[in-house]
Amino acid sequence: MNIPSDLRYCTSHEWIRLEGEIATVGISDHAQEELTDVVFVELPALGRSVDAGDPTAVVESVKAASDIYAPLAGEVVEVNPDVETDPSLVNTDPYGRGWIFKLRVKDVADASDLMDAAAYEAHIS
């Protein structure tokens, strides 16, 4: 399984890529495999303030609907319109074009509380 080492992970299977104070958020390859075919993504509102752990987006598959939680506290500053028009990107490119939203993070240091790739791999094993 492909678990990029440059990302941080949540126990609820979200990942973040931190660039300065902006965190790109998506779901892991493991999560998309568990969901199977993603058919719909409900994106959060721009400007929405969230706390870590808040349900922020929804991914629906042929099996179930799953909340996507904010990995860190912040403000939604961008959403990915591509996953709205082509939800299968969450399946085919979960760490690339299948990202879901971006947050301006309140405290970048909080990212150190998230799992690195090795810890996430152990978590899903």
Distance CA(3)–CA(122), nearest Å, equals 11
Domain 8-107: give its CATH architecture: Beta Barrel (2.40)
Q: pLDDT at residue 1 above 80?
A: no
Sign of CA dihedral 93, 17, 10, 25: negative
Q: Where are the domains of the chain?
A: 8-107
Residues 6 or more apart in contact with residue 109 via CB below 8 angstroms: none
pLDDT digits (tens, 9 = 90+) for 46-98: 999 999 999 999 999 998 999 999 999 999 999 999 999 999 999 999 999 99
Decide if 15 contacts 96 (C-beta within 8 A). no
